[in-house]
Structure 1
Amino acid sequence: MNFSRRRGTIAFFITLGVLLVGLAVTLQVGWIVLNERTVALAVFGIILFALLIAGVVVNTVFLVREIRRNERQDSFLNAVTHELKTPIASIRLYLETLQRRPLDEAQRQQFYTNMLADSDRLLATVEQVLKAGQLGQRHRQQSRALIDLEALVSECITITLQRHHLASDAIVLQPVSGGVHLRVMGLAEDLRIAVLNLLDNAVKYSLEGVHVRCSLAITHYTWATLRITDTGVGLPPNQHKRIFRRFYRVPGRTMQRIKGTGLGLFLVRSIARQHGGDATASSPGPNMGTTVTLTLPLANPSTSEAQPAASRPASIVKERV
């Protein structure tokens, strides 16, 4: 209902804008006809007419953009509310069960495990929202370290497999050819968030089974490239850039069934660009899978030799389990 109402509002403003432009054209033509012998008045009228048309067009564009922005923010609030309420309700249910019924030790341990998983999900949602706010702040002063990208991706894959209870072959990382170490300078926690978001998206949108393939490579001699390819729902041709916008969700019943905040890919691109890289997406079409590419500048070789210890997995903050 809300979606239809917003569509009607957008159509109303567009129609109103067209009618105002038509009225302005009519008035201008009448002005020119009545004052065709007075050149100065005609020129003055043409200038006013151009300004009026420009104002109407700009006003209509801004109104439509504001309506769409509000629509995305409402969707975000609904999604965040769901993501927060679901684990809280689950934890409450487990606690009430533990309080009211006598359970054996095995059941208790299973309940504790489930509650811990729900609390991790709750914490992940909160951290995602907070991180989106932090990335909006300019001039973030944080010290960067040397990071082994392959080690970071391997750890993120392990976390994702545990988080979604997947088999070990559901997400596969192809080894870097030649045994080359891909090291980048950056914030380990931010890059970890970016890779985890990419993997979570690949899993969530693989409705017919998870078959995710990750690959690392050096491109153009100075760039480290991570490609994550799934066999999921894919993307329409006009959505490859829009999915990186804040709060944006791809329209369609299949996409709307999959819960999310609309912040994941926005965080990925923001983090990549703060590290001097970028994130892009490609897809052959709907139901044909998606490939998201994360590109980061390789660390200077002299830096890599000077700080080898920082590239080990120990420098990466581990998942709470």
Structure 2
Amino acid sequence: MLKKPTTVFVYLLGAYVLIQFLWWGYHLIDLTRSAHHADNSIAKRIVMIIGEGTVFLILLLFGLWKIKRSIKKEIQVARQQNNFMLSVTHELKTPLAATKLYLQTIQKHKLNEEKQQELIQKALDESNRLENLVEQILTASRLEQQAMPRLITSVSLKTFLANLISIQEKRFPVTLHMHEFEDIYLETDPQILTYILNNLIENAYKYGYTDQGVDITVAKDEFYVSIQVRDYGKGIPPDLQDLLFKKFNRLENEETRTTKGTGLGLFIARESARTLGGNLSLMKVDGPGACFEIQMPYDK
């Protein structure tokens, strides 16, 4: 279905075409009746018709271009929605099915206390995964409506990154290398910044992790602090890089993919960085892998 502005434009263009044909018809009939008039008068009429015809052709071509672009956007949105439905369906079914299985096992079998606690913990983990999925969708909606709450506080970047790395290395079997840098104090929301970096580290682990680990580099200039997260995997194909920060887009086929995710992570990460006054972008690197850079403003 065409968007409202395009629909209005199509109706106006159609009305213009109809009126223009009626106008030309009138002039052609009048021109025929006035054939006995001076050649100069007829020449002026012909020039006028040619001029209006040229304008009509330009508007018609412009209208066709607008319609084509609108249809292309609608197809892209439809694909995104299809990706989202496939992704969310997969992400919802997996923890629900696992939780149901764990609880049915506890209900139907007489298990010792240790085994029961193990299955209960697994059910809780799947419940937390489901809660995180719902929170991602809500966060994406809040960011789109520019209604993301912020709690700004002063943060020691060196301490912040050290704590974050410690937690991430417990979550994933990943080696994180933080290069030395002079400590910087940021006025930021630690929770939002944590989400951005967690997302980048998790993506580096899922899509680009090798024995070289993941590098975290901090630099600064006169106005901005730069935090770079780089892996040494296969990298991101150039033809897919424009899709990275769009909603519901994943580099894998939704029907055959093996990694978890909804296609919202990088969209939320970039919009979160912008909420904090900064930005998130993909950097060009020499050699293998991918490098994402967060730029954040700071006061010296």
CA RMSD of aligned residues (A): 3.0
Which moves more between the two structures, 93-102 or 235-244? 235-244
Q: What amino acid is the match of 1:78?
A: L
Q: 1:234·1:283 contact (CA, 8 Å) conserved in 2?
A: no
Closer, same or farther in 2 for the Cα pair 1:289/1:141, shift >3 Å? closer
Normalising by structure 1, what TM-score? 0.72
Residue 51 of structure 1 and its aligned partner are, at CA, apart by 0.4
Q: Is the aligned partner of 1:106 residue 2:106?
A: no
Q: Tell me whether 1:160 sits opposite 2:164 in the alignment.
A: no
Listed as ranges, the matches of 1:41-190 within 5 Å are: 41-138=49-146, 140=148, 142-164=150-172, 166=173, 170-177=174-181, 180-190=182-192
Percentage of matched positions with identical amino acids: 29
Query: Which letter does structure 2 place at the counterpart of 1:195?
Result: L
User: In 2 relative to 1, CA 150–126 (structure 1 residues): closer, same or farther, beyond 3 Å?
Assistant: farther
Aligned residue for 1:240, secondary structure, equals helix
Provide the C-alpha distance between the structure 2 equivalents of 1:210 and 1:249, rounded to a whole number of angstroms: 25
1:185 match: secondary structure: strand
> Within 5 Å, which residues of 2 pair with 1:118-267?
118-138=126-146, 140=148, 142-164=150-172, 166=173, 170-177=174-181, 180-206=182-208, 211-218=213-220, 220-250=221-251, 256-267=257-268
SS in 2 for 1:244: coil
User: Does the aligned pair in 2 maintain the 1:233–1:289 contact within 8 Å?
Assistant: yes
Inter-CA distance 210–248: structure 2 relative to 1 (3 Å threshold): farther
- Where does the alignment leave 5 or more consecutive residues of structure 2 unmatched? 1-16, 18-23, 32-41
3-state SS of paired residue (2:154): strand
Q: Is the 8 A contact 1:153 1:195 kept in 2?
A: no
For the residues of structure 1 that align with 2:92 and 2:197, how far apart are their CA atoms?
A: 22
Gaps of 5+ in 1: 1-23, 25-30, 302-321
- How many Å apart are 1:190 and its aligned residue? 1.4
Evaluate the alpha carbon distance shift between residue 125 and residue 209 of structure 1 in structure 2; reply closer, same or farther with a 3 A threshold. farther
Give the SS at the match of 2:244. Answer: helix
How far has the Cα of 1:227 moved from its partner?
Answer: 1.2
Counterpart in 2 of 1:290?
Answer: 290
The Cα shift of 1:129 comes to: 1.0
Q: Give the residue type in structure 2 aligned to 1:296.
A: M
